[in-house]
Chains A and B, each alone.
Chain A
């Protein structure tokens, strides 16, 4: 079983829409979770960490559900500039600072 699984999409949404991505992880003892954003032909960049109590950064909200072992990313009021691939990242225990990346979910925001 993969450490991290994501729906690859693609998600095509109109500007202003709300869109949500989920990601499941296999190691229930995992403690650190992140969402990265990757633009076409660019390197991944940290979008936000995911905290146990959930956290928000502007239009972006990240949630963690430990019971079901998934994390989510909600984007409100989508902008054209949100078009990218969103990578779910998990740092399982006892792996140093090794991150396991999902395959990414592709988002295209349409005018």
Chain B
């Protein structure tokens, strides 16, 4: 089974620039998540999609972050404009089930963003 695909692996941008990340979940996984992991911290949920609908975006800084999953498969996360504190690894994850615990998530390898 192919895993969660993310690109790019690394990105360095200047503050106030824009950046976009892409994620393709495991085939058949209806639920997709974007997490932000700052160095030394655990991942923090930014947004959760169920198919092409948003389930939870309460922790997404909507003044600068946006995300979409138009066809219910792959997703993009955008930051515009970036700030220094956005430097982090952006992890995409997917799961079969939209609710309850069970089998956990499968994460992609992440995009490491450095804002200078």
Chain A residues with a Cβ under 8 A of chain B: 4, 6, 8, 31-34, 36, 41-46, 49, 87, 89, 91, 95-104
The DSSP consensus for interface residues of chain A is strand
Write 28 A-B pairs (CB below 8 A) sorted by A numbering.
Answer: A6-B42, A34-B101, A36-B104, A41-B112, A43-B91, A43-B107, A45-B107, A46-B106, A49-B101, A49-B104, A87-B42, A87-B43, A91-B100, A91-B101, A96-B56, A96-B98, A96-B99, A97-B31, A97-B48, A97-B95, A97-B101, A98-B48, A98-B56, A99-B45, A99-B104, A101-B42, A101-B43, A104-B42
CB proximity to A under 8 Å, residues B5-61 = 31, 33, 40-45, 48, 50, 55-56
Number of interface residues of B (CB under 8 A): 29
